[in-house]
Chains A and B, each alone.
Chain A
Amino acid sequence: MSAAFLNALEVMTNGLMAGVLYALVALGFVLIYKASGIFNYAQGVMALFAALTLVGIMEGQVPFSHLINAIFGTEIHHFGWHLPALVAIILTIGVMVIFAWFVQRFIFRHLVGQDTIILFMATIGLAYFMEGFGDLMWGADIKKLDVGLPQGGSFAIEDLTIGWAAEGERFYGMYIDKLDMVATVIAALLVISLVLYSQYTKQGRAMRAVADDHQAALSVGINLNFIWVLVWSLAGFVALVAGIMWGTKSGVQFSLSLIALKALPVLMLGGFTSIPGAIVGGLIIGVGEKLFEFWIGPLVGGATENWFAYVLALLFLVFRPQGLFGEKIIERV
């Protein structure tokens, strides 16, 4: 095999794995959009909030410590414990479920039947509220997240692939990030279990029913509020997984909430209503932007990754607005 081909292969593999992470964020959008027609702008902030909470619980940080100290003149910051990652993750899931209940109880229950644009505006408000709330609760500094996931390049793969290049060519083996590999496996498991859950369980069937027709769902005895809380909880869980992956990679910081913007083109490609669409959309964008940067980037001065996904999404909007897997838009006259 030639070194050029191997390099392209390496870029593609890395692109696929980056794509899985995009898909993970997009998945959170799809879950909520399908069940309630709400485009949840706050999904990225949810990932940030989940990651902040996870770090806070693990490190034994006192929530609202700045506020408490400012009011009472105390100097408390830490409980002085370190929880194992698994316990902290379970507690964080609990926090996300409570969060889901709050969102449903205090925001969206009052907005049932409103226009989509109003629901969307509400999620923008929610996003900024949570950003400030997370800041107040856990502090604004960049935090290191280490739940024990492996990091750095995999030497095994480097050693394995170094011999693949033809004699005399300069090739030092493929660089594949271990964290990316783990993220890929976890994301794949998550997607498979979500699909199985929605296909074969009572709640899954009820979720699909609510997504399809509210009135009919009520008539067969489905409690819409319960399903919406369930869906927001699931989206919170997906946000937590995404938060862990991105947080481990680049630290838990407020720019984490911007990964939501990366998910937008993924949704344009995959369609807002399709779980497989989110996955395939994520993979296409991940691979697409890495390969584009690899081949075309040097010709145009690089940094194509910043805009490639959006231009691709724009093309889709023009030629196939429902995305690859979305429900076809048919207008009856």
Chain B
Amino acid sequence: MNDMSSDGYVTADGRKIGGVLMEMKNITLRFGGVKAITDISFDIREGEIRAIIGPNGAGKSSMLNVISGFYVPQEGEVFYKGEKRPQMKPYEVARLGIARTFQNIALFEGMSVLDNVMTGRLNHMKTGLFAQALWKGKAEAEEVANRDVAEKVIDFLEIQHIRKTPVSRLPYGLKKRVELARALAAQPSLLLLDEPMAGMNVEEKEDMSRFILDVNDEFGTTIALIEHDMGVVMDLSDRVVVMDYGKKIGDGTPDEVRNNQDVIDAYLGVAHD
């Protein structure tokens, strides 16, 4: 890392990373007596690709769920765009401009690809209930503008050929891509990806990696992602948080993390004596 001042830094490939977009402070999450996350702090900076990695059951998905409001931590604070975020419902978090995908794909199976992507635009539709019911004028103009954004995202992720296909008929890899499209359509300030490459073959993984990089590059979207595949993470991300048994054991550039003894132990296993 060249420069870690509070105003951001410049990556190895020359992208400028901005200030802190989101900061997690001393987050602890318990399910009954089980601690899923123990006192974890880290930040996400504007424009970067931030990865959270760790072995199975490390608490990565729980952390993502805390960020997106699906879980409420017992302790700790979440700061977003410099302000402390009060306790919020998931839909309220989404309205702040935080979009996400799910590990086990949560798409609207009965709808077409286009309709799915259009649901990502719901937060950008401001006309009221009655204007919508009558639909003319303002609501219509809004629909057209939103449709435009959706179509651009569809083009960008190269899924034009399946625009009208019901999602339930798509293969797994494409579903993952449609889910990404829906999240992108919201034009989020922060995009959360929960294992975007889980269950994919090598070719699909390469495609998805390319799309993630392109999204970050083209729209400057800040991305936080969880991934299992170490190789993929190291190639993609600017900074990495490593979790194990709910604790943070490493945080830094891929190179720093790769050489961290705790991380090596967690991944390769170490004799406890």
Using CB atoms and an 8 Å cutoff, list the residues of chain A in contact with chain B.
197, 200-206, 208-209, 211-213, 215-224, 327
User: Cβ of A213 and Cβ of B135 under 8 Å apart?
Assistant: no
Task: Determine the chain B residues whose CB is within 8 A of the CB of A218 once the complex forms.
Answer: 70, 89-91, 94
Q: Which residues of A contact B115 (CB under 8 A)?
A: 205, 208
By the criterion CB–CB under 8 Å, are B122 and A213 in contact? no
Highest count of chain B CB atoms <10 Å: which of A202, A209, A223: A202
Whether A219 pairs with B99 at a CB distance below 8 angstroms is yes
B108-A208 in contact (CB<8A) = yes
Query: Residues of B contacting A327 with CB < 8 Å?
Result: 110
Contact assessment for B135 and A201 in the assembled complex, using a CB-CB cutoff below 8 Å: yes
Is B120 an interface residue when CB atoms closer than 8 A count as contact? yes
- Confirm or deny: B139 has a beta carbon within 8 angstroms of a beta carbon on chain A: yes
Contact: A205 with B122, CB < 8 Å? yes
* B109 proximal to A (CB < 8 A): yes
Contact with A along B92-133 (1 / 0, CB 8 A): 101100011010001111110001001110110101010011
Q: Are B182 and A212 in contact (CB under 8 A)?
A: no
Distance between Cα atoms of A233 and B127 in the complex (Å): 20
A204, B133: Cα distance in complex, Å: 9
B132, A202: Cβ atoms closer than 8 Å: yes
**Does B186 count as interface, using CB distance less than 8 angstroms?**
yes
- A225 to B141 CA separation, bound complex (whole angstroms): 28
- Closest Cβ of chain B to A197, distance in Å, is 6
Task: Find out whether the CB atom of A222 lies under 8 angstroms from the CB atom of B91.
Answer: yes
In the assembled complex, which residues on chain A have CB atoms less than 8 Å from the CB atom of B127? Answer: 202
Q: Which residues of B contact A206 (CB under 8 A)?
A: 119, 122
**Contact A216/B186 with A221-B91, A221-B122 known, Cβ cut-off 8 Å:** no
Given contacts A213-B106, A218-B70, contact A197 B122 (CB under 8 A): no
Question: A212 vs B123: C-alpha distance in the bound complex, in angstroms?
Answer: 18
- Interface status of B62 (Cβ within 8 A of chain A): no
Q: Which residues of B contact A222 (CB under 8 A)?
A: 91, 119, 122
- Asked if B139 and A201 sit within 8 Å, CB to CB, the answer is yes
A205–B118 contact, CB under 8 A?
yes
Q: In the assembly, what is the distance between CA of A327 and CA of B118, in Å?
A: 23
In the complex formed, the residue of A with least CB distance to B182 is: A220
Given A201-B139, A221-B95, does the pair A216, B132 have CB atoms closer than 8 Å? no
Assess whether B68 is interfacial by the CB under 8 Å rule: yes
B102 CB to closest chain A CB (Å) equals 7
- Interface size class on chain B is 20 to 34
A219 in contact with B90 given A205-B115, A212-B111, A213-B108 (CB within 8 Å): yes
Cα–Cα distance between A202 and B115 once the two chains are bound (Å):
11
A215 and B107 alpha carbons, distance in the complex (Å): 9
Are the CB atoms of A209 and B108 closer together than 8 Å? yes
- What secondary structure prevails in chain A residues at the interface with B? helix
Q: For residue B127, which residue of chain A has the nearest CB? A: A202
Give the docked Cα–Cα distance between A85 and B158 (Å): 55
Can you name 7 extra interface pairs (CB under 8 A) apart from A212-B111, A220-B99? A202-B122, A202-B132, A203-B129, A208-B111, A213-B107, A219-B183, A220-B182
Report chain A residues within 8 Å CB of B91.
217-218, 221-224
Q: A202-B122, A220-B99, A221-B123 are in contact. Are A212 and B108 (CB under 8 A)?
A: yes
Given the complex, which residues of B lie within 8 Å of A216, measured CB to CB? Answer: 102, 106-108, 119
Residues 117-168 of B at the A interface (beta carbon under 8 Å): 118-120, 122-123, 125, 127, 129, 132-133, 135, 139, 143
Question: A202: which B residues are within 8 A, CB to CB?
Answer: 122, 125, 127, 132, 139
Across the interface, which residues of A come within 8 angstroms of B120, CB to CB? Answer: 220
Contacts of B186 in A (CB 8 A): 220-221
Contact residues in B for A224 (Cβ distance below 8 Å) = 91
Q: Is the CB of B132 within 8 A of A201?
A: yes
Q: Are B118's CB and A201's CB within 8 A?
A: no
What are 25 A-B pairs at a CB distance below 8 A? Answer: A200-B143, A203-B132, A205-B115, A206-B119, A208-B110, A208-B115, A209-B108, A211-B110, A212-B108, A212-B110, A213-B109, A215-B70, A216-B107, A217-B108, A218-B90, A219-B90, A219-B94, A219-B102, A219-B106, A220-B123, A220-B186, A221-B122, A222-B91, A222-B122, A223-B89
Residues of B within 8 A of A215 (CB): 70, 102, 106
Q: Please report the C-alpha to C-alpha distance between residue A250 and residue B1 in the assembled complex, in whole angstroms.
A: 81
Chain B residues within 8 Å of A223, by CB? 89, 91
A220 touches B119 (CB 8 A): yes
Residues of A within 8 A of B118 (CB): 205
A residues in contact with B139, CB < 8 Å: 201-202
A222 CA / B119 CA spacing, docked (Å): 9
What's the nearest-Cβ distance from chain B to residue A228, in Å? 13
Nearest residue in B to A201 (C-beta to C-beta)? B132
- For the complex of A and B, the 8 pairs showing the least CB-CB separation, nearest first, are A221-B94, A216-B106, A212-B108, A218-B90, A201-B132, A221-B123, A202-B125, A221-B95
